[in-house]
Amino acid sequence: MNWLERMKSGLKTRIKREIPQGIWQQCTHCGHSTYTMALERNYWICPECTGHYPISSRQYASLLLDEDSFAEMDATVTSSDPLRFRDTKRYSERLRAARRLSGLNEAILTGIGTMGGHPVALGVMDTRFIMGSLGSATGEKIVRLIDRARVDRRCLLLVCQSGGARMMESAFSLMQMAKISAKLRQLAEDRLLYITVLTDPTYGGVTASFGMLGDIILAEPRARVGFAGQNVIKQFLGTDELPEDFQIAESVLQHGFVDRIVSRDQLAVEIVRLIALLAPDGNPQEPPAAP
Amino acid sequence: MAENAFHLDFEQPVIALEKRIAELSQQAESDGLDLSEEIGRLEERAEDLRQRVYRDLTPWQRVQLSRHPQRPYTLDYLTRMTSDFVELHGDRAYGDDAAVVGGAARLDGEPIMVVGMQSGRNVAERQRRNFGMPHPEGYRKALRIMHLGARFGLPVLSLVDTSAAYPGVEAEYRGQAEAIARCMYEMSHLPVPVVVVILSQGGSGGAIALGVGDRILMLENAWYGVIAPEACSTILFKTRERKEEAADALKLTASDLHEQKIIDQIVPEPFGGAHRDWDEAAALLKRRVTEALAELRLLSAEELVRNRVEKYCAMGAYSD
């Protein structure tokens, strides 16, 4: 079976409903109501305006990977509240609530699987976990995923979705940016392909580390992608007005920081095509000999 | 600088007492009175007060000291610590960001490469330097300079002092996030010794962008963290006023970060803060930078890079 056939068979995974509940869903972009079953079949893309509904990390995993190929890694890794941080609520309480809400122990789901038959290491962030913020455990899970990709010679794929660094871990969170960036540089030295998918929203320390370090950077249509949040910028500049399309994926592409805008229903196809073009044989260790 | 010096609110009792002593001495002299006993007592009290005020600074007070308008900046340290500094300009892609300075210099005669953020001393200079808040071209300039150093085997000294990367529309358009990410990515693998010093403000991504190295030093009254206390207070409590609480919660002082094993060494400052004596502050820093570089020069490029990556991999607090 060639990669195309495998991809075709692999991609027939049904996306299970995890985030929105109820029979009808209303699109936040255009207000159009759609029957939930129809949305599921349509990759949670609004049939009226093609707006992308938010979906969970597990939904992305089943959407991207060949059916039943996903093996989760490090599911128990979780943050340990190093600063005993407390604001209006304790961080430990926020962690507990986030675990309940997301069914994850951290803001990222990681694991290995195949896409169109190609071995990949996949990480998907989840905004239901404290806005998908980058904490110590998030960083550790990504680093372990990178090491797994290096050992098995897999392509690395990270689906980003985050408000940025995790305030409750302050400097620990900040250091994850350096930790992940350093490991991604190792991955590149190993000549392994790294693809990022920026989804709505991707901000702060996530954009400013692994989000922008992809060899290839894809983004979902109309996803908000930036470093500083819009409220921060408005407050700082003392203005209510920001340019139209500011920090919208299509405009970020115009400025040169995204390779392609890819609709969710095309994501897997595009990624498999890229892997097949760039690293078809599980990433050859040595560059091909010069002719 | 003493006469019209800027004083922080928590310093006021000390300043008031020092003023009172000065007045009494003057009065004693002009009226021919013997107030030596009283003055002596006040001086004792002043010393006691100084010790109490400056010994046990709260995190928020340290944040205030780190932003003291007379605190030395990157170039003030460089002129005192190094010789033959040749500043280099521009990122070779867009422009020259005056919020970042860098170039080649000699430290005790040995060539090194230096980069760092730079703020201004007066209004015009502050504006020109954009309050030490870099744009992407600033980070890209720093990276260009570091790469140049690496090519010629020069160790890198990075002096970090910024409240944040500039949060503006143009900065976003020109890829602030990419510039920061690229700096960390490349710094992690520079094949030369890299010493980082958190001089005053280590504000979030804007700081870690130039903060990846083999030895991380931090001045006694500097702060380093993911967000400034006022901004943290705004997010958490919907008001800027609970900044003291936020500063406590963020664990952002040098001793906190040393405990967290995020920095390697605390660099002492002159008593009462670096702004009281620039020469001494620079001498204290120079000694530690020189020591760190001497240790690192013994390692091969491979060892340096391997240790550096491992150092960052060990950072974090999680359970499994």
Q: What is the pLDDT of residue A88?
A: 83
Residue A48 shares a structural domain with residue A106: no
| Chain B residues near residue A174 by CB distance under 8 angstroms | 204-205, 207-208, 224-226
Is A231 within the bounds of a domain?
Answer: yes
Looking at residue B5, its pLDDT comes to 61
Which positions of chain A have pLDDT values less than 50?
1, 3, 6-17
Q: Which amino acid is at B2?
A: A
Chain A residues near residue B139 by CB distance under 8 angstroms: none
Among B160, B163, B174, B185, most A C-beta atoms within 10 A, so best to mutate, is B185
Residue A289 lies in a domain: no
Chain B contact for A185 (CB, 8 A cutoff):
yes
- Residue A6's pLDDT is 43
The pLDDT score that the predictor gives to residue B2 is 42
Does residue A106 belong to any structural domain of this protein?
A: yes
Tens of pLDDT, residue by residue over A178-208, are 999 999 999 999 999 999 999 999 999 999 9
- In this predicted structure, the answer to whether residue B91 has a pLDDT above a threshold of 90 is yes
Residues ≥6 apart with Cβ < 8 Å to A160: A125, A196, A197, A198, A199, A202, A206, A207, A210, A211
| pTM score | 0.92
Is A214 found in the same domain as A94?
yes
Query: How far from the centroid of its chain's Cα atoms is residue B155's Cα?
Result: 20
* Together in a domain, A31 and A68: no
| Burial zone of A59 (CB within 10 Å; 0-12 exposed, 13-18 middle, 19+ buried) | buried
- Whether A143 and A241 share a structural domain: yes
Looking at the fold, whether A26 and A66 belong to one and the same domain comes out as no
What pLDDT, on a 0 to 100 scale, did the predictor assign at position B112?
Answer: 98
Is there a contact between A174 and B223 (Cβ–Cβ < 8 Å)?
no
Distance CA B26, CA B31 (A): 9
Q: pLDDT by residue (tens digit) across B176-235?
A: 999 999 999 999 999 999 999 999 999 999 999 999 999 999 999 999 999 999 988 988
Confidence of residue B318 (pLDDT cuts 50, 70, 90): very high
DSSP 8-state code for residue B145: H
The reported pLDDT for the residue numbered A286 is 57
* Average pLDDT score over residue span B19-48: 87
For B202, name the nearest residue in chain A, comparing CA atoms only.
A171
Residue position matching structure tokens 């109309």: A222
CATH number where A228 lies: 3.90.226.10
The reply to whether A109 and A29 lie within a common domain is no
Closest to B195 in 3D by CA, of B118, B265, B136: B265
Structural domain that includes position A141: 54-278
CB B226, CB B250: distance < 8 Å: yes
**pLDDT score of B222:** 98
| A155 and A279 Cβ atoms separated by less than 8 Å | yes
The 3-state DSSP class for residue B266 equals: strand
pLDDT computed for residue A287 by the predictor: 55
Q: Is residue A221 part of a domain?
A: yes
B31 sits in which H/E element: helix B12-31
In a shared domain, residues A62 and A183? yes
- Top residue of A85, A91, A175 to mutate, by most chain B CBs within 10 Å, is A175
Inspect the interface and report whether the beta carbons of B249 and A87 lie closer than 8 Å. Answer: yes
Rounded to an integer, what distance in angstroms lies between the CA atom of residue B163 and that of residue B132? 7
**Whole-number pLDDT of residue B3:** 43
Residue A287 lies in a domain: no
Domain boundary among A37, A53, A69: A53
A47 located within any domain: yes
B90: CB partners within 8 A, 6+ apart: B96, B137, B141
Tell whether A284 is covered by a domain: no
Q: Is residue A6 situated within a structural domain?
A: no
> Residues for chain B: how many in total?
320
Q: Which residue of A has its CA nearest to B209?
A: A178
Of A80, A232, A237, which has the smallest distance from its Cβ to B317's Cβ?
A80
The pLDDT assigned to B33 comes to: 81
The verdict on A198 and A269 lying in the same domain is yes
Q: What is the ipTM of this complex?
A: 0.92
Assess whether A93 and A36 both reside in one domain.
no
Restricting to A residues 96-115, those with a Cβ less than 8 Å away from any Cβ of B are none
- Whether A139 and A181 map to the same domain: the answer is yes
Q: Which two tokens stand for residue B8?
A: 């922080």
**Given this model, what pLDDT does residue B11 score?**
84
Q: What would the pLDDT profile of B228-245 be if each residue is shown by its tens digit?
A: 999 889 887 888 889 999
Q: Are A171 and B224 in contact (CB under 8 A)?
A: yes
- Tell whether A81 and A98 lie within a shared domain: yes
Tell whether A194 lies on the interface with B, counting CB pairs under 8 A: no
pLDDT of B307 above 60: yes
A120 shares its domain with A139: yes
**Mean pLDDT, residues B132-153:** 98
pLDDT digits (tens, 9 = 90+) for A28-82: 889 999 999 999 999 999 999 999 999 999 999 999 999 999 999 999 999 989 9
How far B90 CA sits from the closest chain A CA (Å)? Answer: 20
Interchain pair B208, A182: CB under 8 A? no
In total, how many domains does chain A have?
2
B135 near B176, Cβ under 8 Å? yes
Interchain pair A179, B316: CB under 8 A: yes
* Residue A13: predicted pLDDT: 41
Q: What's the pLDDT score for residue A9?
A: 43
Strand B100-107 versus strand B83-87 pairing type:
antiparallel
pLDDT of residue A20: 58
Query: What is the rounded distance in angstroms from the CA atom of residue B256 to the CA atom of residue B106?
Result: 32
Peptide bond just before A201 cis, omega within 30 deg? yes
Buried b or exposed e, range B286-309, using 16+ CB within 10 angstroms: bebbeebbeebeeeeeeebbeebb
Contact call for B317 and A81, based on CB within 8 A: yes
